[in-house]
Each structure stands twice: as C-alpha cells, then as structure tokens.
Structure 1
Amino acid sequence: MDKLILKKTIVKLPNTNTQHSFRLSSDKLPLKENGYCSNEEIFSLDASLTKAIDLLSKEVETSNFMTLLTAFYLFLNRYTNKTKISIIIWHSESLINYQVQFLMDSVQDFTFKELLNLVKNGYCVRFQPLTSAKLSQDASNVSFALYSSTGHNAAPRYPAIDAKMNLDFNLFLNHNVEKTSGVLKYNGNIFDAKSIQRQLTNFQILLKSIVESENKNLPVGLLRIISGEEEKLIIENFSKTRFVAHSNKTIIELFEEQVAKNGLKPAIIEKKAETSYEQLNKEANKLAHFLRSNQSFGTCAILLSQGSNFVKSIIAVLKAGGSCAPLAVTNTSERLNLLLEDLNYPPLITTRTVLNKNGLNYPKIILLDEDKHSISSQPDSNLNLPRNPTDLAYVMFTSGSTGKPKGVLIEFKSLNNVVQWFKNCMSVSEEDRSSLIANPAFDAHIIEIWPHLITGSCLYVCSKKYRHNSNQILHWLQEKQITISFIPTAFAVPLIGEPQSDLSLTRLVVGGEKLNRFPHPQLTFDVYNCYGPTENSVISTFVNLSSHKTPSLKMPPIGKPIDNVQVYVLDNYLQPVPIGAAAELYVGGEGVARGYLKNEKLTKELYIESPFPHSQYLYRTGDLVAWTDDGNLVYKGRLKHELKHAQRDVSEIERILLQHPQVSQALAVVKGSQITCYCTLKHGYEAGTKKNLKTYLKHHVPQHLFPFALVILSYFPMTSNGKISKKSLPEI
C-alpha cells in the first residue's frame, strides 16, 4: 500500500453530521420544473460476472455490498469528473439507513483493490446516519441498495421511489447464487431512456473491466467504461470535422485581390469618414514600407482603439513581413511595459492621443498622427513579400485564469483556416455590412475584420459610446443596417431574449463567455454560438442555434468543430469518455497555435502530442464539456472551478432567472459555500421586482441552489473584451 503513504490526502475521517451535497444532473431540459416522472430500466449481470464479483470480494475480505458500492462510486466519478460524491443507502425496501460520502481528492491512480480497501477501512469515506424524514434537497439525489436472495427464483423487492424523496438516480441490485439482477429507477423528468440504457451498458462494461485478471494492477482511470461501438462513433464522427482545402493564398493576397476587383467600394466606414478598398490598401502599403525602412522587422505592437487606423496597421504589419501584437488602450503603462518587455521591445504603432491617456514612455514608437508626413511620402505599391503557412501572424495576449498575461503565437495557416471557414460558413458576400465592435486586444477582431476584407464587404466601426450597452448596440445596428455582427455574449443575451424589429441583421455571432439562454424563436436572424480559446485561433466549435435540432437541452450547446479542426473529450489518461460524461476538452487541427511566447514550460504542459492520427498536437483547454447524443458539445465550466465548486451547477439558476419576463441578464457566482445572484432588468421594471424575483426563485429553484443573496444592478461591469468583470461585482 505504498500509494497510501505517498498520498497525503488519504486520512481516516470521523463520522460527523457535516453535510456534503452531491447532485447528479442532466443536460436535458426538465419536462416540468421540479417535476418527477418515475421510470425504470431492468437489467441483469450474467453468472460469470456475478461469480467474478464474489471472488474479488473474498480476495479483499469484504462484502459484495462494499465491492459493488465502490464500483458504483467509480462509475459516478467517471461520468461526472467529480471525486467528492454522496450516495444514499437503503437498508430495506422501505428504510433508508445512511448516506455514504466519498471525500477523496483523487482516485484515478489507485488500482480498484486499493480503492476498495480505502472504502472498506473508512479512509476518505464518511458514513452518515440518515432517515427518510431527513431527506431534503440538500442531500444526495443518488441512492444504492444491494439485496440477497436465497432462492433461485426469489423475486426481488426494490424500494418504491416517489417525488417527495427527491431521488433521481437509484441503482438497486439483487444478488443470488446464479446471477445479479437489478433495476435503475430514475426521474424521467430530467433523464431520458436512451441515456439511461447507455449508462447501464457502460456500468456493466466497467464491472467486467474491474474483475478481469489482467486489469488487477491497472489504475482505475484506465479501466474501460465505453463500448467499442460508442468509442468509434465519438472518434470517427463526433470528434472529426470535414477536411476542407481552403485557398493556399494568404489573407493579404486575398485582400489585394478584392482591392483590384472592388477598389472604389467602401472598405471601412467610421463615423462619417469612408475609406475605400483602394485607399485602405495604399495607406497600408505606405505604412508597411515605412516600417521596413526604419528597422529590421519582426513583431510589431499596436496600441490603438478599434477603427480604420487599427485595421490599416494590422494590414501593414502583415504586408511588411511581420506579426501583429494588438494591445488594449485601457492597459496601464505598467502593464504595457510588461507586455512590451515580453515582446522584446518591438516597434509600437499608436497615436499621441492614446499615449497622452496612459502616460507610456517608450522609445520605439511610430505615431500615426505625428509621423503622418514621413509615412505618406513612402511608396503606395504592394510589397509582395512571400509568407509561409508557418510564419507568425499574431501574438495575442490572454490573461486566462491566472491574471498573468500570456502571449499566444498564431501562425498564418491557423489564421487562414478560421478566416476562410468563417467566410464560407456565414456566407459572407460583397453586399454585407459588418460591425466592428470588439476590442483590438480581443481575438474576436480577427473574424470581424478579415473574412470581410477578403470578400469585398464593408466594415462599420461602432463608436465607443455604443459599445457597452445592449440597447445602444441594438439602436446602432438598426441605424447602420448591419447584416452580420459579432457581439460579446454578455451584450448579446438581452438582444436574443425577445423579438427585435427594424433590423437588417441576418447573422449574429456570439462568443467570449458561456451563453445561458436560447434565442427567442421569433427572431428574424440566425444566432451562432461560437467557442474557442485564443490558443486554438479564435473559434474551435460553433452551432447555429436558430436551426439547432435539440431544443430539449437546458443550455445552448457550443456545437461541433469548424473545418479542419478536431475536438476530443478525454479523461486524465487521454481516453475518450462516454456520451454525456463530463471531461476536459482537447482541440487539434489547423487552429492549434504554435505555443506561448517565452514560456516553453507552459507550452509543453498544455500543447501535447496527439494520441489520434488526425492531429499532430492537441491543446488542453481546461474546459469541462460533454457530448450530446447528436454530437454537439455542451460547456460545463472551467475544470479547476468545477473541482472547487463541484456540487453547484449555478448555470441552472441563471437559466431559470432568464425565464422571468422582467430579467434581462443573470449571473450566479459561488463564493465559499454561498451563491450570490446578480441580474439586470428590462426597461421599465424596478419597483418591487426584487421581492417578486425572490418569490419566483423559491418556486422554481431547488433548495440546494437557492441563493444567499439577490442583487439587482443597473448594468454589469465589463472588461475591455466585453466580458462580465466578476472582480468588479459588488461584495455582499
């Protein structure tokens, strides 16, 4: 038992009355809020498997009850990606005896016998007395029972489950000398029969894997739980996308083709100023020649607000043979100095106006306003410099969960793939009017700008006063007759929650955060929910929610992989997990970035060699997801966050709050053991709303999810990238 000595977390726990809540949930939309529909699936284990379980129990000197309970715990662990799990135990068909709380921090590296010994000896397991009268929504909604029959034909008597017990997933087994029979009683209001049948199959596969002699020294994380047929479906159908041979021309070459074709057409309209394709190209060429004439050229930092100057600058840098590093103008001078140091002090394109606001003192500055005459004297001809697919195109800084900026290195092949996929998928045309809203330091600007410049459509710059208010964005979209727009999730939620009028919009692209509501069915435009870390070049998966065929999900899915991208849902041993099981998302294919700037250690940690033939490398996203039956992905949260707050699926509260007719936006935050809800209201609702919302939540939210506090805000504080700033929310 050397592993027990090495693992400092393994301690024997006393029996106490401390509650440890565990709720097994489903991605399925309940047929009725807080409803209960009693369903069951009957199954049996064959004689050889029953005998093997008997032998294993004798070998470990424990009961079949302990062996099968531990196997059931392991099954729940593999499906939920949680280690702290509580299970209600039935003593007889009418009496609940106690609740078992498994409190391990990690289980995957133990063999099954080691894990079984831990449970048998009470390590990291708490047995808590519990009666039927004490069952509440704070207790587990999962139960287990094992009964023994003496006769061959003895009919099992299983507990009757009703709605008052709040038990949604109940595994009851009956053991006799010939075989083990069983029934899985479940709440059909939240679980569907197809998923339950598949889970029962996987439970039996896991049991067989546990008792096979060749597996006795395997860690439980390597024990098989998925059938070959299901694994083939996932790897060959769900994970892979179609291979599309996009144009081998660079986006600069494709842009210059549009200049030749549509030179006099407007490329950018900012306020009342209009820049044609020909003018934009000439100005970018002059800046590119200027950049090459002043220094040896590599990465160039750009510190500009969103607009024509920024667009011109990124075109110029790529034309000049360099790579772009966009920086947010809202950064402090201290943070800017840190980022510029990481970039090895590159030239910085900005304006005097921007510098005066943040007080940056930096020697290698190109001022578009003060250097205007020097730049305008340069040639306006195309540079025609060759660019290779593996050349660096962008360095995008992302703070991630640590707050420390990381420079992500995006190559031309990745940039070309996402840009040309977006153009084709969204059917971008010369007639389109596209919005330019995203902060330049937010990678979403890539899909706002490039798909349109290589097509010949027009970019409309949304001025700053409109960018941080959903109603003002809506007014601006109407005024400019925008046909296609990317809007950060937090701003998009109020827009898609109710029908909109007087819009020319046909495609709304949403991304940046988890989307917690489906679009209203009467919307006249398509809503695309997009997901993707910067480390995989802006977008990895997408779904058109307006034509999505699975409206029974609680939350909008994040969809399927884009062209030439592969996605895998894998456990700690890089094995595919069953449909519906929660695990980490890995992404591969053309979108995978080169790695992190000056951080080889983190690059090796998060960019791993792929065990699958379709990708050379996979990026570990740190996001917890699950497959749906139709091959879409459902986002469940950040992996580290789930481990810390594993028992609280707060997105359920957000979903319910957004169904209230007075709520515009909703956010639920876990702090310690308490849940705080924040929301904004639709126009015209103020007086008495808080009391009404509390009453509404009491009737619709399960007790274990009821918030400690409800805070109504005039607006949500936002980061410069258009995401909700949780750090800036008021403390309670």
Structure 2
Amino acid sequence: MTEALHCAFVELAAKTPEAIAVYSDAGVLTYGELNERSRVLAERLTADGAGPGVPVGICVERAPDLLVGILAALRTGSCYLPLDPNYPADRLAFMVQDSGTRLLLTTPASRASCPPGPTVVVLGETVVTEPGTKPVAVVPGDTAYVIYTSGSTGTPKGVAVRHSGCVAMLAEMDRVLEGCDLSGVSAASSVCFDLSVMEIFNALCRGGAVVLVESAVHLSESRYADRITHLNVVPSVMNGLLDAGAVPANVRTVVFGGEALRRKLVDRTYRETGADRVFNAYGPTEGTVFCSFGPVSEDGTGEPTIGPPTATDRVYVLDGNLERLPAGESGELYLGGAGLAHGYVSRASTTAERFVPDPFRRGERMYRTGDVVKFTDGGELQFLGRTDHQVKLRGYRIELEEVEARLTGCPEVREAAAVVRGSRLVGYVVPAGDGAAPDGPRLDTGLQSAITGRLAVELPDYMVPATLVFLTALPLGPGGKLDRNALPEPPAADPGGPLTAAGSPTEVALSEIWGQLLGLEPSGIDVHAAFYDLGGDSLLLVRLARLMTRRFDRRVRVPDLFSFRDISSLARWLDDESGAAPEVVQSARLRASARRAALRGRGAAGR
C-alpha cells in the first residue's frame, strides 16, 4: 500500500505518461503532463517554504490547474487547504487565518479572490526546472488536506485529514467498485466538499480520467459530458438531472452520497439511465469521505441503507452509556479506525468533545457523529436522523446554529431560527425595533433583500436562506427552548395586484430564462415575483446564474441573485452599465475591502 494520497498517481504517470488524466472545457492533460506540471510547481512551492506541516491554500477556478496545484502541494509534503474563489472574502480570510496558512496558490483569473496575508504563488509564473529537490517522504499520519465545515458556534471549523485515511479510503473503493469503468469519472463537487477527494483520486490513482466540470447542475453543458462513465452525485442534484434528461448516455456507474437516498430515485436511475450499478456512500468529513459504502440493487424493496461499514473503519452504534446496541435498536453512530481524522484545526476543546476515547480499544479514539442509526439484520446501517441541528443541503453540511448566528448579527433582526424545507433553507426572523409582524407569519421582499444581501457577503450561497418568514415571536417549547417543529410553513407570496408582465428587452429575456427553468409561460411571469416564490430552488438558482451569464455576457453569481430577487430588479441591475450592487451589499463589500486593505498594510509594515 502506498503511504501517501498522491503516490499512486506519480507511479502511474511514469508508466503511462500518454494516457489522458483530465478532461476539462479549459483543457486536456495527459498523466505525463499533469505529473510534470505538478513537479515543477512543487519545486517552486518548496522554494517558497512549503513542506511537512505547512498548509498550502489552493484558490483556483475549476480547470486543470486546480489538480496541478493540489498534486504540487501534496508532493512538497504540505497539506492543501481548498479555497473556493466564489466564497465570500471574509470566509476565505477566516479559513486562511484560522489554519495558519502562509502560502497560497492561485491563477490570474482567481487572484482577486485571494485573502491578504499569505505569500501568493500564481500559476503560469513558474519557470520550468530540472528535478532538484528529492521527493519528500510523507509519513502516513501526516495531514493530507484541511476542509472547513459549518460550525455550530457561528464560525466554520477545519478538519485535518490524514494521508493514511485517504489511502485506506481508496483501497476500499477498489474493493467495492471492482470492475467499474473509471475511464471518465465525474468531478463536479466543490473542492471545499470532501466528495471531491474521492472523485479526483479514485480516477488518478487507478489509471482513470477525471472529467472536470463546473458543477453537477451544469453536467450536460460540458464538452466532455459524453465521456463520463462513472457519476458521483448528490441525490437532490440527480433528481434535477433526471428531470432535465441531462444524465450522460455513457454513465454506467452512479455513486450517491451527501444526502439521504430514497428508493424512488434509485428506481428512476436504473429506469431512465444506462447505469447498471448504483452505490450509496455515507460518511462525515471527520471519517475521511465515507465509512459505509455498498451497492443498491435494482430489484430492492424499501428505502436504501447507507451500506455496510467499510473494512478499514470501526463502526459502533451506542446508547447514552456508550454500550453497544444490537441490530434493530437505534443509537448514535461512532467511528474509529484508519479513516479517523486528526481533529479540528486550532480547536483542542472541540476536538476533545467530538473525538473521545474508544472504550473498546485501549489508547485509541472514536468520533461522535451525531447521526442516529441502527444496524439491519444483514449488517448494514440504516440512517434515522440527527441528535442535533446539523442538516445537509445540496450535499453540503450546514450547522443551523451558524446560519442563525449570522441572521441575528444583522441590525434588522432581533431573533432568528433556520430549518430546511424540501430543497430550500428557510429562515424565521423576529424583526428588531418596530418591524415585528402584527398578524402572524408574513413575507417582506424589501427586508428580506436587505438581510440576505448582508449574508451573501459573509456565507457561501448554500448557507443563505432562500426565504425569510417574519414572525412576532419564535415558538417555544415547555422548557423555553425553540420548538423547530412549530415553525410555520412559509406563507404563499401575495401578488399584491394584477400581474406586471415583462416590458423592457432585458425583462423579456429574463422571463424566457425563468420560464425555461421553472416550466412556466414567460408571458405569465410577474416581473415583481421572486424566483423562489414561483417554484425555484437552490439547484435551479445555480443554473439561473449560469444561463444569465451566457445570455447577457456579464458574470452573474448566485450571491447576486439573493440581492436581486425578481426580474424587475435584475433587469435594472443588468441594464446598469456600472454593475452597481444594492446599497446594503455594496457597503458590506466596501467594508470587507477596507479590512483586506488594512490587513495588507499591516503585512507590508511587518515585512
């Protein structure tokens, strides 16, 4: 067994340099080319201080350079810290500061997204070198990457994952996926989501090819979609792909993960695609991508399980006294074994709280997942729910407490709660001052735009509530705590008068795009109605941003769609040549820019 995540790739590149490693609309690379470019970059990173124990930030758009950077960081012995260029600037700055990252890799296209502080290395500015530095020997227990997940205290927390856990994960995939075609493995997950590790390295360490796409929502738009044979996908996204008839024709294997999988979707997948093998994978980031993984048969009955435990992980179902429970009885899931992460970066107390002594293995630890499960009689795991308020949306892990903390940090908000309803995140707000709703739950487009506009410059788009419901007070249970089950359904939007049809050419074009996505007649869409109120969801919002970018030849990001929620305001923004943001968002961005400038100034003074 190779001891480091990238070693099998380097060995394959030496044996089959002409084989295709990466397909991408931005370019195609062979194993030899990817290996050489990552070697050259590793030499440069080493000269700039990369090495064992040194995190290297990777702030690169979804192009082959992303894989070049990840491999280069690993080859130096460093761990990599994925930084999505589309994340809000403050969140990226927090991740860099919290992790102690002093070296950051980017490209000219993503340079403006980089937070201040670290030494920045820009791809394309490196010089080809002959091999100079000897390959760094990686200890299996060294950290391979740090991925930040949502935090219940209001700030994200970084999970440090070991090389040994990654290597064990790949060995398990080899065993479970034996015989599957890896000639085109989809890589559509954000690198800030640990499913990306499985997507990238399952292909590159087994002689397959990565098909790098912008996101699974845009799968059919990729020039190389027809090369995808192995599709990794979140269930909610797969439903959208099936609805749109957008699953590539050559897909033969589908691996689900990130959300609960339902039998109805499994049946649709077998019936409506060419897939002949379907798998379900489960696992928290703290357990290195997955800890249970198994096939889901075509002729099965009942809801799918999350599979049997992997051969390299220890999986316990325990009661409140940490006693093992027999099959059929529900309890909390605890994990141990090869996949266990080091813990949380810079959070010793949180690490001690969640990574506890293993009572069944002296001197070892286990991780409290917070998931409620039970073993079936056949030895597989059935997911039943959570012990806390963590949820999954589009496969991303969200601590509702973090969303609530950001909501209550807005000056317009006195109290707040958040829940997931269907495929949307809904916030419940008691307004500050005299803004409380006098007649029960209500919607307020203007107030919502102000609040979500603030959140859009602080949180990733999947953590910004799609809808805000304004209440006079949050419902409380007998003990005085928030009763989430008593939070009302969002009220229907009030059209407030006769329909206002599109007038300007921009409004007409937007109505056509909205109609295409929502299955509505463009002439029947009110230009003052919000996208979500017409049936949109978070997945369609991603497609909307992409379609608008193409149609209007102007970059449209999902956060922009939280600021301009209807066709009328979007059209005014698009027609404004200055591209001005609304006042609240613009002021927040100016404050963030001022903070970054101040940090750069302090850094320059220190040098």
TM-score (structure 1 length as normaliser): 0.53
Report if aligned partners of 1:284, 1:312 keep a CA contact under 8 Å in 2.
yes
Name the aligned partner's letter for residue 640 of structure 1.
D
Confirm or deny that 1:254 pairs with 2:8.
yes
| Counterpart in the other structure of 1:631 | 379
Distance (Å, rounded) in 1 between the aligned partners of 2:129 and 2:6: 19
| Counterpart in the other structure of 2:160 | 409
Report if aligned partners of 1:419, 1:446 keep a CA contact under 8 Å in 2.
no
Go from structure 1 to structure 2 and tell me whether the alpha carbon gap of 1:397 and 1:264 turns closer, same or farther (over 3 Å shift): same
The Cα offsets for residues 621-648 of structure 1, whole Å up to 9 and x where unpaired, read as 11122222322222222212499x9xxx
Distance (Å, rounded) in 1 between the aligned partners of 2:163 and 2:247: 40
Distance (Å, rounded) in 1 between the aligned partners of 2:329 and 2:40: 55
Distance (Å, rounded) in 2 between the aligned partners of 1:416 and 1:365: 29
| Counterpart in the other structure of 1:301 | 57
SS of aligned partner of 1:376: coil
Confirm or deny that 1:444 pairs with 2:195.
yes
Name the aligned partner's letter for residue 268 of structure 1.
V
| Counterpart in the other structure of 2:284 | 533
SS of aligned partner of 1:250: coil
User: Equivalent of 1:486, from 214, 227, 232?
Assistant: 232
SS of aligned partner of 2:6: helix
| Counterpart in the other structure of 2:586 | none
User: Equivalent of 2:135, from 384, 388, 392?
Assistant: 384
Shift of 1:578: 3.9
| Counterpart in the other structure of 1:559 | 307
Name the aligned partner's letter for residue 566 of structure 1.
R
The Cα offsets for residues 394-420 of structure 1, whole Å up to 9 and x where unpaired, read as 111111444421111111110111122
| Counterpart in the other structure of 1:56 | none
The Cα offsets for residues 494-536 of structure 1, whole Å up to 9 and x where unpaired, read as 4468998861111111222223444124243122221111011
Name the aligned partner's letter for residue 255 of structure 2.
V
Report if aligned partners of 2:220, 2:247 keep a CA contact under 8 Å in 1.
no
User: Equivalent of 1:713, from 503, 512, 535?
Assistant: 535
SS of aligned partner of 1:305: coil
Distance (Å, rounded) in 2 between the aligned partners of 1:445 and 1:507: 17
SS of aligned partner of 2:383: strand
Confirm or deny that 1:364 pairs with 2:115.
no
Q: How does 1:595-674 map to 2 (within 5 A)?
A: 595-613=343-361, 616-641=364-389, 671-674=484-487
User: Equivalent of 2:42, from 271, 288, 298?
Assistant: 288
| Counterpart in the other structure of 1:315 | 71
Go from structure 1 to structure 2 and tell me whether the alpha carbon gap of 1:491 and 1:256 turns closer, same or farther (over 3 Å shift): same
Q: How does 1:26-45 map to 2 (within 5 A)?
A: none
User: Equivalent of 2:92, from 325, 331, 336?
Assistant: 336
| Counterpart in the other structure of 1:277 | 31
| Counterpart in the other structure of 1:46 | none
Report if aligned partners of 1:518, 1:545 keep a CA contact under 8 Å in 2.
no
Distance (Å, rounded) in 1 between the aligned partners of 2:32 and 2:48: 25
Confirm or deny that 1:508 pairs with 2:248.
no
Report if aligned partners of 2:61, 2:109 keep a CA contact under 8 Å in 1.
no
Name the aligned partner's letter for residue 293 of structure 1.
A
Report if aligned partners of 2:3, 2:138 keep a CA contact under 8 Å in 1.
no
Go from structure 1 to structure 2 and tell me whether the alpha carbon gap of 1:512 and 1:678 turns closer, same or farther (over 3 Å shift): farther
Shift of 1:340: 1.4
- What percent identity do the matched residue pairs reach? 25
Shift of 1:714: 2.5
Confirm or deny that 1:524 pairs with 2:280.
no
Shift of 1:542: 1.9
Distance (Å, rounded) in 2 between the aligned partners of 1:304 and 1:428: 33
Go from structure 1 to structure 2 and tell me whether the alpha carbon gap of 1:615 and 1:638 turns closer, same or farther (over 3 Å shift): farther
Shift of 1:591: 0.5
The Cα offsets for residues 516-564 of structure 1, whole Å up to 9 and x where unpaired, read as 4441242431222211110111111123223574x123xx321111221
Go from structure 1 to structure 2 and tell me whether the alpha carbon gap of 1:719 and 1:540 turns closer, same or farther (over 3 Å shift): farther
Shift of 1:478: 8.0
The Cα offsets for residues 275-312 of structure 1, whole Å up to 9 and x where unpaired, read as 11111111111111111112263211111123211111
Distance (Å, rounded) in 1 between the aligned partners of 2:243 and 2:331: 30
Q: How does 1:427-442 map to 2 (within 5 A)?
A: 427=178, 432-442=183-193
SS of aligned partner of 1:490: helix
| Counterpart in the other structure of 1:193 | none
Go from structure 1 to structure 2 and tell me whether the alpha carbon gap of 1:610 and 1:360 turns closer, same or farther (over 3 Å shift): closer
Consecutive unaligned residues of structure 2, counting only runs of 5 or more, are 392-399, 401-418, 424-465, 470-482, 493-513, 522-531, 543-557, 566-607
State which structure, 1 or 2, has the greater radius of gyration over its C-alpha atoms.
1
Name the aligned partner's letter for residue 597 of structure 1.
V
Distance (Å, rounded) in 1 between the aligned partners of 2:78 and 2:248: 43
Distance (Å, rounded) in 2 between the aligned partners of 1:548 and 1:498: 25
Distance (Å, rounded) in 1 between the aligned partners of 2:90 and 2:380: 42
Distance (Å, rounded) in 2 between the aligned partners of 1:344 and 1:274: 34
Distance (Å, rounded) in 1 between the aligned partners of 2:242 and 2:322: 37
| Counterpart in the other structure of 2:173 | 422
Go from structure 1 to structure 2 and tell me whether the alpha carbon gap of 1:529 and 1:499 turns closer, same or farther (over 3 Å shift): farther
The Cα offsets for residues 184-242 of structure 1, whole Å up to 9 and x where unpaired, read as xxxxxxxxxxxxxxxxxxxxxxxxxxxxxxxxxxxxxxxxxxxxxxxxxxxxxxxxxxx
Consecutive unaligned residues of structure 1, counting only runs of 5 or more, are 1-246, 655-666, 688-709
Distance (Å, rounded) in 2 between the aligned partners of 1:608 and 1:541: 20
Distance (Å, rounded) in 2 between the aligned partners of 1:481 and 1:678: 44
Go from structure 1 to structure 2 and tell me whether the alpha carbon gap of 1:397 and 1:719 turns closer, same or farther (over 3 Å shift): farther
Distance (Å, rounded) in 1 between the aligned partners of 2:381 and 2:491: 27
Shift of 1:268: 1.0
| Counterpart in the other structure of 2:80 | 324
Report if aligned partners of 2:56, 2:101 keep a CA contact under 8 Å in 1.
no
Shift of 1:589: 1.0
Name the aligned partner's letter for residue 238 of structure 2.
A
Distance (Å, rounded) in 2 between the aligned partners of 1:436 and 1:294: 30
Go from structure 1 to structure 2 and tell me whether the alpha carbon gap of 1:454 and 1:429 turns closer, same or farther (over 3 Å shift): farther
TM-score (structure 2 length as normaliser): 0.63
Q: How does 1:58-207 map to 2 (within 5 A)?
A: none
Distance (Å, rounded) in 2 between the aligned partners of 1:488 and 1:279: 31
Distance (Å, rounded) in 1 between the aligned partners of 2:294 and 2:233: 15
Go from structure 1 to structure 2 and tell me whether the alpha carbon gap of 1:279 and 1:475 turns closer, same or farther (over 3 Å shift): closer
SS of aligned partner of 1:587: strand
Name the aligned partner's letter for residue 577 of structure 1.
L
Shift of 1:377: 3.2
Report if aligned partners of 2:3, 2:163 keep a CA contact under 8 Å in 1.
no
Distance (Å, rounded) in 2 between the aligned partners of 1:476 and 1:678: 38
C-alpha RMSD of matched pairs (Å): 3.9
Report if aligned partners of 2:165, 2:338 keep a CA contact under 8 Å in 1.
yes
Distance (Å, rounded) in 1 between the aligned partners of 2:279 and 2:490: 27
| Counterpart in the other structure of 1:569 | 317
SS of aligned partner of 1:505: coil
Report if aligned partners of 1:285, 1:383 keep a CA contact under 8 Å in 2.
no
